[in-house]
Amino acid sequence: MYRLPDKNGYFGKFGGRFIPETLMPALLEIEDAYRQLKEEKKFQDELNSYLRNYAGRPTPLYFAHNLSERLNGAKIFLKREDLLHTGAHKINNTLAQVLLAKKIGKKRIIAETGAGQHGVATATACAALGLECVIYMGKKDMNRQQTNVKKMKLLGAEVRMVDSGTQTLKDAINEALRDWVTNVNTTYYCLGSVVGPHPYPMMIRDFQSVIGRETKKQILEITGRLPQLLVACVGGGSNAIGFFYPFLDTKVKMLGVEAGGLGLHTQKHSSTLSRGRIGVLHGAMSLVLQTNDGQIMPTHSIAPGLDYPGVGPEHAYLKTCGRVQYTYCKDQDAVRAFKILAESEGIIPALESAHALAIGMKEAKKMGKDKIVIINLSGRGDKDLELVETRL
């Protein structure tokens, strides 16, 4: 049976805690609080109530019949995380973490954001639960996701522009960590993906695994059997791990899709699991895109949410042990999939999710009509319209 991470936060050789000592007591406090609250019915009830009545869970599992017909292969189902409040799976995690922060008495929440979805979800959770909110965002990401910046501000959050380094998610995380080191006594860091030091990868996976639990129940109800394949996109990897985790003990095949950008030969990509080497970034041992000297490499993806040189340690483990397969999808193929889904099903996916779609469609084509493929539609594409327009 799959029971990871171990007590030190390791998934095989990946994970752990590699952070300044200043933060260590806070991490231990969060871990203690989380383990306790996990068993507490009152906390679970409160969280479930927010997820149901505020965020909009359970999300539907939709049979994409037009798309399936068009591809003439396996039946494609879409897990509709795009229908959640704020438009992506991110809200599952932020409601849970902000609620936890409130329980341990923190009044101020900080977060980082790439695409802006985690920032919006954090700002939303803070507004709903009445906590102060500061969001760090790379200058480059602020330029390409202006609508989300406006939303965060409207929700009462302060958005701090990060113009150091690559001006994307990686540097926004650095700045958020620096803020946390400085204000750790009053502040809770609401991390956006299954990255960072233990207990974040474990805790966020648990919070996101509501996606996979619902999917499993729904597909059994609809078809009476488990699917042959699950497909999800992987940046840091939170939607994918939440989707996969409840299936790890089954025989269902899983495929994680990273951003292939302009192609793996160009260095303009974010395919950490394909091209990364073992290293430490943002507090965890994982696979990392880095130079021979151990400097973190700049990355590229048309989808800001996938533009990250690291990956959750659990994904690094699942790849190494072979339980989950990982591949990549190039920018242009994601844009094509974006358009196909819009036209065939009337659903506009996030560019991040479009990466999973492109590969899911490709796989489904090769499979028999009696087979089932479920793709996690992690978010909706309103935020990406302008970006996609220039590419079509």
Partner 1 sequence: MSKISEVFESLSKKNEAALITYLTAGYPTLDASLNYIKTLAQYSDMIEIGVPFSDPIADGKTIQFSSQIALKSGVNLVEILKRVAGLDIKKPIILLSYLNPLIALGIEESFRKMQKARIAGLIVPDLVIEESELLKELALKYSIDLIHLVAPTSDKKRIKLIGEATKGFIYCVSVTGTTGVRKKLPYKLLSFISLVKSIVQKPVAVGFGISHPGQIKKLSKVADGIIIGSRIIEIIRNREDLNFHLKRFKQATMRG
Point out which span in 55-63, 235-243, 275-283, 346-354 binds partner 1 (CB under 8 A): 275-283
Q: Examine residue 58 and say whether the peptide bond preceding it is cis (omega within 30 degrees of 0).
A: yes
- DSSP alpha helices (H): ranges in the chain? 24-39, 41-49, 65-71, 90-103, 117-129, 139-144, 146-154, 169-183, 200-208, 210-223, 238-244, 272-275, 313-320, 331-345, 351-366, 385-389
Q: Least distance from C-beta 160 to partner 1, angstroms?
A: 14
Based on CB atoms, which residue is closest to partner 1, 29 or 46? 29
Question: Beta strand pairing status for 132-138 and 158-162?
Answer: parallel
Q: Which two tokens stand for residue 365?
A: 């084509």
Choosing from 293, 322, 346, 390, the residue that interacts with partner 1 (CB under 8 A) is: 293
What's the closest the beta carbon of residue 270 comes to partner 1, in angstroms? Answer: 16
Could you tell me the smallest distance in angstroms from the CB atom of residue 122 to partner 1?
20
Task: Give the integer Cα–Cα distance in Å for 211 and 286.
Answer: 24
Give the single-character DSSP code of 384: G
How many C-beta atoms lie closer than 10 Å to residue 110's C-beta? 25
Nearer to partner 1, 293 or 370 (CB): 293
Of 180-188, 208-216, 314-322, 341-349, the window that binds partner 1 (rule: CB under 8 A) is 180-188
90 is catalytic: yes
Is residue 174 part of the contact set for partner 1 (CB under 8 A)? yes
Q: Does 316 bind partner 1 (CB under 8 A)?
A: no
Residue 387 CA to residue 247 CA, distance in Å, equals 34
Contact string 237-266 vs partner 1 (x = CB under 8 A): ------------------------------
- Does 164 bind partner 1 (CB under 8 A)? Our answer is yes
Q: Judged by CB, which is closer to partner 1: 273, or 372?
A: 273
| Interface with partner 1, residue 22, by CB under 8 A | yes
Nearer to partner 1 among residue 12 and residue 58 (C-beta) = 12
Contacts with partner 1 in 295-314 (CB under 8 A)?
A: 295-296
Single out the residue of 5, 16, 304, 305 in contact with partner 1 (rule: CB under 8 A): 16
Question: Which residues, at least 6 apart from 169, have a Cβ–Cβ distance to it below 8 Å?
Answer: 112, 113, 114, 138, 141, 235, 304, 307, 308
Name 40's Cβ contacts closer than 8 Å, sequence gap at least 6: none
Which one of the listed residues 75, 90, 106, 383 is annotated catalytic? 90
What is the closest distance, in whole angstroms, from the C-beta atom of residue 133 to partner 1 in the complex? 21
CA distance 293 to 66: 49
Catalytic pick from 102, 216, 378, 383? 378
Q: Which of 104, 127, 181, 387 binds partner 1 (CB under 8 A)?
A: 181
Q: Which long-range contacts (CB under 8 A, 24 or more apart) does 42-45 make?
A: 43/99, 43/100, 43/103
Whose Cβ is closer to partner 1: residue 99's or residue 281's? Answer: 281
Rounded to whole angstroms, the Cα distance separating 111 from 123 reads: 9
CB of 187 to partner 1, least distance (A): 11
Establish whether 112 is a catalytic residue: yes
Q: What is the DSSP string of 151-183?
A: HHHHTTPEEEEE-STTSSHHHHHHHHHHHHHHH
Tell me which stretch binds partner 1 (CB under 8 A): 109-117, 140-148, 274-282, 354-362.
274-282
DSSP 267: T
Scanning 95-103, 165-173, 238-246, 361-369 for contacts with partner 1 by CB under 8 A, the matching segment is 165-173
Q: Which CA distances in Å does 310 have to 26, 174, 237, 316, 385? A: 23, 13, 10, 10, 27
Residues from 42 through 61 that contact partner 1 (CB under 8 A): none
Nearest to 259 by CA among 324, 326, 313: 326
- Kindly tell me which of 127 and 181 has the beta carbon lying closer to partner 1: 181
**Who contacts 13 (Cβ-Cβ below 8 Å, separation ≥6)?**
278, 285, 317
Residue 182 within binding range of partner 1, rule CB under 8 A: yes
Q: Which residues are tagged catalytic?
A: 90, 112, 378
Question: Under the rule (CB under 8 A), what is the footprint of partner 1?
Answer: 8, 16-26, 164-165, 170-171, 174, 177-178, 181-185, 277-283, 288, 290-296
